[in-house]
Amino acid sequence: MEKAIALYFSEVEASCVEGRCMHLLSDILMIALLTYLTGGTDYQDMYLFTKERGEEFNGL
């Protein structure tokens, strides 16, 4: 299921300038969703979630 969600987010077009962004918009959206589902409420929670569990989602 994670791959289906990641595929869905990969279709969202980002309006950022190429080469200036460190992360894909689809990755940020996935992290935001997973953080929210685990009780997170803000950027700090997203950061902590990624720091703690980010390696589990490499390659989605």
> 15-44: per-residue pLDDT in tens?
776 777 777 888 888 899 999 999 999 999
Higher pLDDT, 14 or 26: 26
What are the structure tokens assigned to 32, written together?
A: 């935001």
Contacts of 48 (CB under 8 A, 6+ apart): 40
pTM summary value:
0.70
**% of the chain with per-residue pLDDT over 70:** 83
Q: Mean pLDDT, the chain, as a whole number?
A: 82
What are the structure tokens assigned to 60, written together?
A: 């989605």
**Cβ atoms of 24 and 14 closer than 8 Å:** yes
Higher pLDDT, 42 or 56: 42
Cα–Cα distance for residue pair 15/37, rounded to 1 Å? 26
